[in-house]
Amino acid sequence: IYYKYKRRSVVLNFRKDIAMELDTNNHSVFMLNYHLIMCVKYRNNVIDDAISLGLKRYLKTYALIIIFVGRIEHDIDHVHVIFRAQPRTELGKFINAYKSASSRLIKKEYPEIKKHLWKDMFWSQSYCLISTGGVTVDIIKEYIQTQGR
Alpha carbons 94 and 75: distance in angstroms, whole number: 22
- Enter the DSSP assignment of 112: G
Q: Please report, for residues 39, 62, 78, 95, 116, the alpha-carbon distance to residue 120 in angstroms, rounded to integers and kept in the order given.
A: 15, 22, 17, 19, 9
Backbone angles phi, psi at 88, to 5 degrees: -85, -5
Tell me, rounded to whole angstroms, the distance of Cα 62 from its chain centroid: 11
Selected catalytic residue, list 58, 62, 110, 143? 143
Is residue 34 annotated as a catalytic residue, yes or no? no
Q: Please report, for residues 60, 72, 89, 140, the alpha-carbon distance to residue 94 in angstroms, rounded to integers and kept in the order given.
A: 13, 16, 8, 22
CB 69 within 8 A of CB 81: yes
| Catalytic residue ranges | 143
